[in-house]
Structure 1
Amino acid sequence: MTVRTRFAPSPTGVLHLGSIRTALFCWLYARHTGGEYLVRIEDTDRERSTDENVTAIFEGLSWLGITSDKEPVYQTRRFDRYREVIAQWLDNGKAYHCYCSRERLAAVREEQMAAGLKTRYDGRCRDGAEPVDGVNPVVRFRNPTDGDVLVEDLVRGEVVFSNRELDDLIICRSDGTPTYNFTVVVDDADMGISHVIRGDDHLNNTPRQMNMFAALGVTPPGFAHLPMILGPDGAKLSKRHGAVDIRDYQQQGYLPAALLNYLVRLGWSHADQEIFSVEEMIELFDIANVNQSASAFNPEKLRWLNQQHIKAMPADELGTLLRPFLERAGLAVDSGPEPSAVADAYRERAETLVELAASCQYLYNDFAEIDPKAAKKNLRPVVLEPLLDVRERLAALPEWRAKELMEAIEASAAAFELNMGKLGQPLRVAVTGNGVSPPIDITLELIGRERSLQRLDRALELVRDRAAAS
């Protein structure tokens, strides 16, 4: 059997972390088994579905690399198929028209609640009902009234539902639009879906859907219901926790592989391993190894994982991803060092690409003034002569490369019997405007000869003024 999974978002909203984890698990299981992964847009809610949300869904999936193996399926383009099945079921008695008014259904519900009973349709029209003038009936599925439905869930194990607890679900509204539980069954059957992987909030829908698969004469797919993702406080994940548009994480400078790595660990594990490449996820993932317990979203852990992936990514790839963040920060990228070289030098301290871009602005744009605190601590009169000496040595270098730069700085430090920190830090403050940067030789190489010497000259003027004032 070819494994075929599907991710079926509704464009009534954008993708958030929970949706993406579902898509990821569907995608990984298909890739792990050599199967197919498909996308279906469940857009039958015409009032709330928007083209903007459809665009957001595909942009998010594309950024993460979770792309469909075939053209996406849109439910609104399949209404003729749904009508065909409904007509067949009405003809063979697997479905029936129901003329019950909303008022009657509400009254029945109130009576059941007052009696402490489970609220459900009472089956009044199940065995035939006279048409009511001016009333467009709904269509209900004739659910079996005896026996059990056994769901052999790949995550939760066996779950048994009694058909006596399941009422006759509406499969077509009075305006002719089909309902969710019906359309997904027809779609999954027609698409040949072998495994339905989704959140455990859908578990209660499963027995009704399995009965409809039987009505279609189709073997139901395997089901795997994923545990919830909770916020750090144990409550349902919400916007304040991180249930935001997945594209926001892209704008915040997260790497796709890091986000996928984080999400795969929310419910799945492989020994004690924390960091996975996408290739490792595909190789190791098995839906049978997903646990049943809810997982808590931890933004600090996500940032840590992102940093690990930033450190591990090849410099040329990281530089390509970094470039738009440098441009967004207003930096003149084409008049400074290559983003790949910057990424390689500055990756160690950055948790996001936004942070990485912010930490290297002086490589591209000149700064108005040196940070006063850093200048007060490091640009004192005592460093005037060593800075003049190192400036002369740097200016005389035939090649502006890290190795030669470091040799010149070490020679100046030795001439004045200083350790490297006593000279390297004032030099760093002079050329960067603050006291934090990668190793000083790499920093100087990236800033470049002309900018470095100009900034060193400005710092020397500041030191001279302080020496004269003292």
Structure 2
Amino acid sequence: MSIVTRFAPSPTGSLHLGGVRTAIFNFLFARKNSGKLILRIEDTDQERSTVDSLDEIISSLKWLGVSWDEGPYFQSKRLDTYKKYAETLLDKSLAYKCFMTNEEIKQLKEEASKENKIYRYPKTWRNRSDHPDNADFVIRFKTPESKEIKFSDSLRGQISIDSSNIDDFIILKSDGFPTYNFASAVDDAEMGITNVIRGEDHLSNTPKQVLIFNAINKKIPTYTHVSMILGKDKAKLSKRHGAESIKNFKESGYIAIGIINYLARLGWSHGDQEIFSLNEMINLFSLDNLSKSPAIFDTEKLDWVNASHIKRSDNNNLKKLLELELYKEINVDLAIELTKAKSKNLNLLKASLGFCENEYVDISEELKSEARENDGVDLIKQFSRDLDSMDEFTEKAIRELFATFLEKNNIKMKNIASPLRIALTGSKVSPGIYEVIRILGKNLTLKRLRAFVS
């Protein structure tokens, strides 16, 4: 049997971490099994669905590299399909028209609230045939009475629930749009979905969807309801925990593989391994290695994973991601190689290379004054002469130059490194001074030092 999974976001907001992890799990499972991933847009909530949200979802998935094989399919363009299935259920007496008005339902809910009871639809129209003419109606599913609803969850085993816990739920609204559970089940059936991998917050929806599958005589997929993502305080993930959109993470300098790796490890594991390439995740992914325990979102861990991938990244790829034009005398490959190991995101990496963009750097009067303290200018002049006389410009030679210079002047490293850093980068924060000099090269280093002391 060929594996078919789906990712089915609603375009009612940005793509957040929980949804992205669901997409990643479906993507990895499909690729591991040479199967198919379908992208389905569940846009039946017309009031809240927006084009901007849809565009952001699509662009976020593309940026992450979570590719799909079919779609996107839009539920709003499949209304005839849902109507056909609803009418079939009506013909089989597995569903019925309900003419109860919103005012009547509101009154029943208020009465239930006064009595501290949970509102349940009283099945008013379940067996009635005295339908009024030209009146709005919804179509409700006729939930079987006293029946055990069973389905299999690969993570949680066999699950059963008594049908008495489920109302005669609406499947088609008066405006012709389907409800979530009806559209989801019909689409999963029509699209041949074999595996539904989604968050455990959907577990309560599954019995209703199973009823729909049985009613339309379609095979029930295998369900996998993955654990929730919580904040460090064990509360549901929210913006205060860092639950931003993927767009925000991208703008904050995270790279796609860093996000994918970190989110995949929230609920999935392969031994003690933490850092994976995309191919490794595809080859090693298994539903058997998912955890039922809630996953804890940790920004520091995300930063570490992202930094690890930046360190492992190809320099040419990083150059494209940085969109940074460096001064012509700078060895770009060397500049990235020497700075990426200490950068936890692209924004910091780009900032650390700011001193490489132009021939000279702007230095504030305050920093100039600081660099001139304690004979800073004289030390820079001496250092320039020693550097200029170097025959070999290698890392080893630069380190030896510093060692000799410190001993000759009987000073500590900070006495020369600090004024050099300011003169060469225009900042007190930069890569190590050895790295700065190697990145700039001998000629550009001397140019900047001479410009500073002149």
When normalised by structure 2's length, the TM-score is 0.90
How far 1:448 moved relative to its partner? Answer: 4.0
2:375 to 362, 381, 387: 381
Q: Provide structure 1 residue ranges, at least 5 long, that are not aligned to the other structure.
A: 327-331, 462-470
For the 8 Å contact 1:99–1:137, the answer to whether it is kept is yes
Q: What is aligned with 1:172?
A: 172
The match for 2:446 among 430, 447, 453 is 453
Tell me the equivalent position of 1:357: 350
Structure 2 letter corresponding to 1:341: L
User: C-alpha separation between the residues in 2 aligned to 1:161 and 1:338?
Assistant: 66
Contact 1:379–1:459 (Cα < 8 Å) also in 2: no
* Shift in CA distance, 376/114, structure 1 to aligned 2, threshold 3 Å: closer
Q: 2 CA distance for matches of 1:338 and 1:51?
A: 44
Query: What are the superposed Cα offsets for residues 399-431 of structure 1, whole Å, 9 maximum, x if unpaired?
Result: 866566556656656766778776555544432
Q: Secondary structure at the match of 1:139?
A: strand
Name the amino acid aligned to 2:349.
L
Distance 1:405 1:108 in 2: 83
RMSD, aligned α-carbons: 2.7
Moved more, 187-196 or 445-454: 445-454
Corresponding residue SS for 2:71: coil
Shift of 1:166: 1.2
Name the structure 2 match of 1:28.
Answer: 28
Relative to 1, partners in 2 of residues 1:406 and 1:126: Cα closer, same or farther, differing over 3 Å? same
Q: Is the 8 A contact 1:370 1:430 kept in 2?
A: no
User: Which residue does 2:60 correspond to in 1?
Assistant: 60
Q: Spell out the pairing of 1:26-175 with structure 2 (5 A cutoff).
A: 26-112=26-112, 118-175=118-175
1:232 aligned partner, one-letter code:
K
Q: How much has 1:189 moved relative to structure 2?
A: 0.8
Q: Which residue of 2 aligns with 1:466?
A: none
Q: How far 1:57 sits from its partner (Å)?
A: 0.3
Contact 2:60 2:246 in 1 (8 A): yes
> 1:117, CA displacement in angstroms?
5.4
Give the C-alpha shift of residue 21 in structure 1.
0.7
Which of 358, 367, 371 is the aligned partner of 2:361?
367
Structure 1 residue identity aligned to 2:361: F
Deviation at 1:382, TM superposition (A): 7.5
SS at 1:30 equivalent? helix
CA distance in 1, matches of 2:338, 2:372: 23
Task: From the superposition, tell whether residues 424 and 124 of structure 1 become closer, same or farther in structure 2 (CA, over 3 Å).
Answer: closer
Q: Please tell me the residue identity of whatever aligns with 2:375.
A: P
Deviation at 1:434, TM superposition (A): 3.9
Say if 1:402 and 1:444, in contact at 8 Å, map to a contact too.
no
Q: Kindly indicate whether the alpha-carbon contact (under 8 Å) linking 1:227 and 1:294 is maintained by their aligned counterparts in 2.
A: yes
Counterpart of 2:250?
Answer: 250
Q: CA deviation at 1:250?
A: 0.7
Alignment of 1:345 onto 2:348:
no
Match for residue 333 of structure 1 among 311, 326, 346 = 326
Q: Do the aligned partners of residues 108 and 418 (structure 1) sit closer, same or farther apart at CA in structure 2, a change above 3 Å counting?
A: closer
AA partner of residue 71 (structure 1): G
- Deviations along 1:361-391, one digit per CA (max 9) or x if unpaired, are 111143332685796478632872x643442
- Match of 2:374, as an amino acid? R
- With 311-320 and 430-439 compared, the bigger mean Cα shift is at 430-439
Q: Is the 8 A contact 1:319 1:341 kept in 2?
A: no
User: What amino acid sits opposite 1:158 in the alignment?
Assistant: Q
Return closer, same or farther for 1:395/1:220 CA change in 2, 3 Å cut-off: same
Deviates further, 210-219 or 305-314: 305-314
| 1:321–1:399 Cα change, 3 Å | farther
Check whether the contact 1:378–1:425 (CA below 8 A) recurs between aligned residues: no
Which residue in 2 is equivalent to 1:201? Answer: 201
Q: Distance in 2 between matches of 1:394 and 1:382?
A: 16
Greater alpha carbon shift after TM alignment, 26-35 vs 202-211? 26-35
Q: Give the secondary structure class of the aligned counterpart of 1:13.
A: coil
Change in Cα spacing, 1:458 to 1:379, as seen in structure 2 (3 Å) is farther
Is this contact kept in 2: 1:149–1:160, CA < 8 A? yes
Between Structure 1 and Structure 2, how many residues are aligned?
453
Instruction: Say if 2:21 and 2:264, in contact at 8 Å, map to a contact too.
Output: yes
SS at match of 1:34: coil
Displacement after TM superposition at 1:170 (Å): 0.6
Structure 1 SS opposite 2:363: coil
> Deviations along 1:195-240, whole A, 9 cap, x unmatched?
1111111111101100100111111101111221122222221222
Contact 1:317 1:340 in 2 (8 A): no
Work out whether residues 370 and 429 of structure 1, in 8 Å CA contact, stay in contact via their aligned partners in 2: no
* Structure 2: segments with no counterpart, 5+ residues: none
Query: Does the CA-based 8 Å contact 2:327-2:356 persist in structure 1?
Result: no
Following TM superposition, by how much is the alpha carbon of 1:396 offset from its aligned partner in structure 2, in angstroms? 5.5
Native 8 Å contact 1:403 1:441 kept in 2: no
Taking the aligned partners of 1:429 and 1:190, their CA distance within structure 2 comes to 66
